[in-house]
Structure formats: C-alpha cells, structure tokens
Amino acid sequence: MHEVFAPGRVELLGNHTDYNSGVVLSAALDLGTTARGFRRDGTSIKLRSVGFPEVIVDAVTPSQPTGEWSDYPVGVIAKFIEAGYAVGGFEVDFSATLPVGAGLSSSASIEVATAVLLCKLFDFKIAPIDLARICKRAENEFAGVNCGILDQVSCVFGRRQQAIFLDCRDESVRRIPFPEGVELLIVHSGVKHALTGGEYNERREQCFEAARILGVAALRDASTADLIHPGLSEIVRKRAAHITGENERVFAGVDALSRGDLKEFGALLTASHASSMNNFENSTPELDILVRIATGLPGIYGARLTGGGFGGAIIALVASEHIDNEMVNILERFQNETGIKTAAYHCRIGDGARPDA
C-alpha cells in the first residue's frame, strides 16, 4: 500500500497569463488530495472516491472521457500509457480536503496525486517538470480543459512558506520566500467555478486575437503601453490590458515579497481584482462583494479572485493575529448582504507532491 498527497494551489498573481506565455506567482496549499493504492494482478484498475460510484478501467483498452470526476485520474493513466509507461492493474482510494469548484485546482491536485502514485506503484522515474507536463496533457487532451501548466507545476513544485514564480514560456520555476506574519484566507463565493464553460475559451481566443493584431507571438511580448494600437477593438484591448497588467503585477509582486513589503503586495492583489472586474470580466457580483468586504477590514492587506474566475473563491492576505476575527467578519457580512452562507479556509503555504519525495 502506498499513500501520496498532492496539494491544491492558489494563484497569487498572474491571472490568465499562463496560456499567454506570461509569468505567474502561485503557491501550493496545505489542502489537497490523498491517494492510497496498491498493485493487483492483471490489467484492471479500480478508482474510488467517497460519495461516488467505483470506476473500473483497463490498462490495455483505451478509455474515453465520461464528464465525471474520474476523467482526471483516468486521463493521467491514459497519458502515462500513451507515453510508453507500463501501467498494470491497481486499486486506489481518493480523499480530499480541497473544496471542489473553488478555483483552487482540485483537478490538478487529483491528477498529480494519481501521477505520483503511479510512480510509486510501478517505480517510474520521471522528472518533476515532466510529471507536470503529463498531467497538463491529461487535462487538455482527455478532460478537455485548455489550461496552461500553472496548476500542475504549482502542485508539484510547491514548498512550505515559498511562493512559486513560473515563467510559462520556458517553463522555468523558482521559489520566492514568503514573509512570516501573514496567512492566506480563501473564501468561497458560493458560485461554483467551472473552466469547461465557454467563457474561458472565449477569453483565450480574444487574447490570441490581440497578439495577432499587435504582431507578437503572445501577449507576454506586449506591454500595456502597446495597447493603443488602432486595430484593437475595445473589448479585445480590455482583455489584453488584463494580461499585460497581470504580467507587470507579477514582477512587481516578486519585488515586493523580496522586500517584505506586505502593504505593496496586498495592493497588487486588489489591483488585480479590479482588472478582472473591469477588463477581463471574469469576476462575478459575489466575488466582487467578497473583495470589497475583505479590503475594508483592518487586518487584511489585499484580496482578489483566484483561479480562472467565473465563480469560485477569493484569496485575502491577512495579518496572522487577525485571521480568526476577519474570517468571521467576512462570512457574517457576506451572508448579511447576499443571503449566501458560505465557507472560508485558513490555508498555509505547503509542500508540493514529487515522485522523488
């Protein structure tokens, strides 16, 4: 029997920059997915998760997506087999502490947990970045979500009390020490986040259209000053302004963290949310209310939606001594204003899951 844990991730800055060859600042969480499994004779694979029917697939017969939770682990298994790894029969039980639909990448968490478990069960030797790439292919090509590699890299490369700086163009990763004395508060909006909706793909295409008009390979190669181009429609210019602004905020955020300037880092979070509201329009009224409430509280440095948007959660940067009080304050005020009773999660920056751990 082997047991592995893969975290969820929180996007600190760099919203939707990953598929634009940009830069992102993220962190692994101490919430995630645990996979417990063992090998069995034959080629039958059994997957179980609390509250769902058992799923049985075969390591020889190609599987097809079903639109269920199992697409994520089955997709990883399929990509391992496609890459030439000799996957045999096994059984696995999944359990999670990560809220589904909060924009904290529960999908990448279960993908990475599956991949690391396969390495343990069958003694596969795979470099961490290649493991992340396999999981990304599973999400793109099997589950049908056109995400970048941010989520999988964050789940693999996370380290306790360190942010992850990812350059999505060359897939280089470095870690940035995160200051002590602050905590991350994740507050769900009560609106489930789902990347398979048409809004996500529409935003991607608008970003690619902006890059074509500007004559650059990707919006990573443009600055906000370049967006006065007469060929950009107003809507495409706004989408591009979010991406160029986010890249700029990531670099500014790395500088602020290196100086321990929490006030500046918090202001960048809040500016990021304003851009999501006004430029990218991937926020929701519920997310906006949460950010407004959070940023009006004295113990909070800044807040923004995290993940793809269109529902999900916000992240707030909170002084450690205020975390309990501000969690209660946000939940109470949000319920009073909207009638929605939701949940908050006090998270710490944790370690990633690695095949060599």
Active site residues: 151
What single letter denotes the amino acid at residue 215?
Answer: G
Cβ pair 303, 293 in contact under 8 A: no
Rounded Cα gap, residues 220 and 198, in angstroms: 23
What are the φ and ψ backbone dihedral angles of 338, each rounded to 5 degrees?
A: -115, -20
Rounded CA separation 281/278 (Å) = 6
Q: Which of 98, 89, 82 is nearest to 142 (CA)?
A: 82
The residues, ordered by sequence, that sit 6+ positions from 200 with a Cβ below 8 Å of its Cβ are 145, 146, 308, 310
**Residue 209, CA distances (Å) to 22, 32, 202, 232 in order:** 16, 36, 11, 9
